[in-house]
Structure 1
Amino acid sequence: MKLIGSNASPYVRKVRVVMAEKRLDYQFVLEDVWSADTTIASSNPLGKVPCLVMEGSEAMFDSRVIVEYLDTLSPVGKLIPQQSRERAEVKTWEALADGVMDAGVLCRLEATWAGRADGERSQVWMDRQRAKMTSGIAAMAKGLGDKPFCSGIHLSLSDIAVGCALGWIEFRFPDIDWRAQYGNLAKLQDKLMQRPSFADTKP
């Protein structure tokens, strides 16, 4: 398997963490999708990472699709439950975490994209995305409560998605001090960072 991605992308990190937790071998190919000479469109017509290229088959893209597929490849460390209700809960956690990252990416692009002049940037739009981020983080903290993990007592995709989202917020938005406000999330993140899968993929 070949994973195309970048070290800074939280979506790519989610896939890399799942790969590590599942003990799957793969080749990691760095790609800057913003570069003029990027070749990502040859694998993903949407021009986005992560993109998983399987030998002799079509490329697979969108982190949610990739991680669900990867969880079927090995019985080691099952991350997505088979039961419908528990499965829906884990996928909802993933959607929440991805939504926080989506809002963060939109906010950051509005603020930093070189294709837009300073006078063209919308503060109202950035404020709207930041509100989604802070609301999503608050929902994570409420959902976690005093549990050891997001979806019960074992590591699951819920925790991986949340950990990648929080790690990226720390990396790109250090002014959002979620640690001071939500001690339970800080405790979870510190616990996740003790795992090699997280420590080795820190942006």
Structure 2
Amino acid sequence: MYRLISATPSPYARKVRIALSEKGLPFELLTEVPWDSTTTLPRHNPLEKLPVLLLPDGGSVYESSYILQWLDLKHPEMPLLPDDVDGILAARKLEVLCDGVCDAMVLTFFERQRGDPSAAWLARQRRKIDGGLAEIARLVGERDFAVGDRFGLGDIAAGTVVGYLAVRFSELPWRTRHPNLAALSDRLERRPSFRASVPYAQAITDRVV
């Protein structure tokens, strides 16, 4: 059985949790705070980042987009990507945008922890968040699924980025700005894989800023 090192708020880990569930692959969830000294991450990922997928043979796979690619190649049933090249590229583009927005939210979170946060830095990250969400909403449009006519990587990416907003950027009125993205999110959150992985904040014991 696979084991997944995760953190409760992490949109990157949530992507993998959803993919594993949608593919019907059993796994054990190992919840950690990656910033605390008690984390096991250095043993499994030299970059000390999660998620990390621990394999039955003792190996590990890390970085969310690579884990998803690894899972799709190893377990091609219920594919995460469309069958056509344009669809694959569209799904990958959404994943890049969504990961970039999540990165900006993480950077914002830690900058806000500093005693004297940089207004210019926070404004730059806010532009990335606003611009990224607007582009995600434009690309998704009014379709039932983010890309093509079936659930896949684009839905996982778009669904997890807006889910993370509730944890780190709840003040952002993204639902009124992007009602089509809100409608997609509502549909996705009804799926068992999404309901079982709703993100929430963790307490960080060790000071990191």
Letter of the 1:88 partner, please give it.
L
User: Among 179, 184, 193, which residue is 2:180 paired with?
Assistant: 184
Alpha-carbon distance in structure 2 between the residues aligned to 1:86 and 1:98:
18
1:94-105 to 2 correspondences below 5 Å: 94-105=95-106
Name the residue aligned to 1:38.
39
Distance change (3 Å), C-alpha of 1:75 and 1:38: closer
Name the residue aligned to 1:157.
153
Q: How many residues align?
A: 198
Structure 1 position 127, deviation (Å): 1.1
Q: Which has the higher contact order (CA 8 A, sep 6+)?
A: 2
Name the residue aligned to 2:142.
146
- Residues 98 and 158 in structure 2, CA contact (< 8 A), matched pair in contact too: yes
Alpha-carbon distance in structure 2 between the residues aligned to 1:53 and 1:106:
27
Alpha-carbon distance in structure 2 between the residues aligned to 1:183 and 1:153:
20
1:58-69 to 2 correspondences below 5 Å: 58-69=59-70
- Residues 179 and 185 in structure 1, CA contact (< 8 A), matched pair in contact too: yes
Alpha-carbon distance in structure 2 between the residues aligned to 1:190 and 1:170:
13
SS at match of 2:96: helix
SS at match of 2:73: coil
Alpha-carbon distance in structure 2 between the residues aligned to 1:39 and 1:28:
14
- Residues 104 and 128 in structure 2, CA contact (< 8 A), matched pair in contact too: yes
Name the residue aligned to 2:107.
106
Show CA shifts across 1:121-145 (max 9, x none): 2111011101100100000111111
Structure 1 position 82, deviation (Å): 4.7
Using structure 2 for the length normalisation, give the TM-score: 0.90
Show CA shifts across 1:17-43 (max 9, x none): 011100101111111111122221010
In the alignment, structure 1 segments of 5+ residues that lack a partner are none
In the alignment, structure 2 segments of 5+ residues that lack a partner are 200-209
Show CA shifts across 1:89-116 (max 9, x none): 211111111111011111111112xxx4
Structure 1 position 75, deviation (Å): 4.1
- Residues 23 and 76 in structure 1, CA contact (< 8 A), matched pair in contact too: no
- Residues 7 and 13 in structure 2, CA contact (< 8 A), matched pair in contact too: yes
SS at match of 1:72: helix
* CA-based RMSD: 1.3
- Residues 14 and 161 in structure 1, CA contact (< 8 A), matched pair in contact too: yes
Name the residue aligned to 2:203.
none
- Residues 82 and 148 in structure 2, CA contact (< 8 A), matched pair in contact too: no
Letter of the 1:73 partner, please give it.
K
Distance change (3 Å), C-alpha of 1:152 and 1:44: same
Structure 1 position 57, deviation (Å): 4.8
Structure 1 position 59, deviation (Å): 1.3
Alpha-carbon distance in structure 2 between the residues aligned to 1:19 and 1:11:
13
- Residues 192 and 198 in structure 1, CA contact (< 8 A), matched pair in contact too: yes
